[in-house]
């Protein structure tokens, strides 16, 4: 049997120890670095929003994402950044939605239904039969509430001129600068919130565009909840 010198054994053990120690430290460092960068971006955004909204305050989340709380025309709302390329607007009005609905950027495959997981509801797709909406968005809701939403959407699409009402607000949010995908969710348990997947940082570094998104989110709330 060949005797391996002690110095070689020690070198191998030290090498293994370094790998075992440094790899997790590197992973933790990258995770915390990303978290610090996201925190700094959200703090900077809160400072910029003080010129647009009232009662702006930045709140650090202990386990969840940090939040920016503010008011728009006296009504409370919250901005969150769940992930590096995500931004969410959650409205916090006193009246919760009575119905379930989901509106999102149309996927490659247009399914006839979807599952609203937070409410364990299967919602059918509601079509307006107008290409302006049906070719860019998917609207899911119960048959009764979906009929109301369809009528609102159709009423806002004139034969000539720009859309108005619900159709206009949905299109504005869908086409917000720097947005890859848009989603609106409402339910009695989950509240009313708008989510964006970002391909660029327009909504983070352009307060005017974010103010417009908040305005149209509240406008949709008024049309879909406070009708």
Q: Mean pLDDT, to the nearest integer, of 10-26?
A: 58
Cβ-contact 169, 190 below 8 angstroms: no
Residue of higher predicted confidence among 21 and 199: 199
In a domain, 2, yes or no: no
20 occurs within a structural domain:
no
Average pLDDT over residues 3-23: 61
Residue 110 confidence (pLDDT) = 84
Contacts of residues 217-222 at CB distance under 8 Å and 24 or more positions apart, as own/partner, are 217/77, 217/89, 217/91, 217/169, 217/173, 217/184, 217/192, 218/72, 218/73, 218/75, 218/77, 218/91, 219/169, 220/166, 220/169, 220/170, 220/173, 220/184, 221/91, 221/93, 221/192
Instruction: Extract the runs of DSSP E, i.e. beta strands, from the chain.
Output: 54-59, 67-72, 75-80, 86-91, 101-105, 113-116, 121-126, 137-141, 179-187, 191-198
C-alpha 52/C-alpha 33 separation (Å) is: 29
Q: Is residue 6 a part of any domain in this protein?
A: no
Dihedral, CA of residue 66, residue 213, residue 216 and residue 54, to nearest 10: 60
pTM for this prediction: 0.82
Does 143 score more than 70 pLDDT?
yes
Helix (H) or strand (E) holding 223: helix 207-224
Q: How many Å apart are CA 98 and CA 191, to the nearest integer?
A: 9
Lowest mean pLDDT among 8-17, 36-45, 74-83, 200-209: 8-17
Token couple for 88:
């969410």
**Of 63-77, 110-124, 207-221, where does mean pLDDT reach its minimum?**
110-124
- Which residue range(s) make up the domain with 47? 41-224
Alpha-carbon span 137 to 96, nearest angstrom: 24
Whole-angstrom Cα distance, residue 156 to residue 133? 11
Mean pLDDT over residues 157-161, rounded?
85
The reply to whether 11 falls in a domain is: no
Residue 149 lies in a domain: yes
Res. 32: pLDDT tops 70: no
Domain count, the chain: 1
Answer yes or no: is 54 within a domain: yes
pLDDT class of 31 with cuts at 50, 70, 90: very low
Domain assignment present for 10: no
Confidence of residue 92 (pLDDT cuts 50, 70, 90): very high
Residue 12 belongs to some domain of the structure: no
């Amino acid at each position: 049997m060949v005797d391996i010198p002690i110095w070689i054994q020690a070198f191998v053990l030290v090498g293994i120890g370094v790998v075992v120690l440094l790899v997790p430290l590197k992973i933790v460092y990258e995770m915390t670095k990303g978290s610090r960068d996201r925190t700094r971006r959200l703090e900077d955004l809160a400072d910029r929003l003080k010129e647009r909204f009232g009662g702006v305050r930045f709140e650090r989340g202990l386990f969840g994402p940090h939040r920016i709380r503010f008011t728009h025309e006296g009504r409370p709302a919250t901005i969150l950044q769940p992930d590096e390329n995500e931004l969410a607007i959650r409205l916090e009005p006193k009246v919760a939605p009575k119905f379930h609905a989901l509106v999102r950027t149309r996927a490659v495959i247009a399914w006839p239904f979807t599952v609203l997981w937070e409410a364990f509801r299967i919602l059918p797709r509601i079509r307006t039969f107008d290409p302006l909406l049906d070719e860019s968005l998917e609207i899911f809701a119960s048959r009764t509430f979906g009929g109301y939403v369809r009528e609102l959407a159709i009423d806002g699409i004139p034969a000539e001129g720009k859309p108005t009402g619900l159709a206009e607000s949905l299109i504005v949010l869908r086409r917000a600068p720097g947005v890859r995908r848009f989603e609106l969710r409402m339910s009695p348990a989950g509240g009313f919130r708008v989510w964006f997947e970002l391909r660029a940082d327009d909504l983070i570094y352009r307060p005017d565009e974010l103010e417009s998104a908040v305005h149209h989110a509240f406008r949709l709330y008024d049309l879909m909840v406070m009708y």
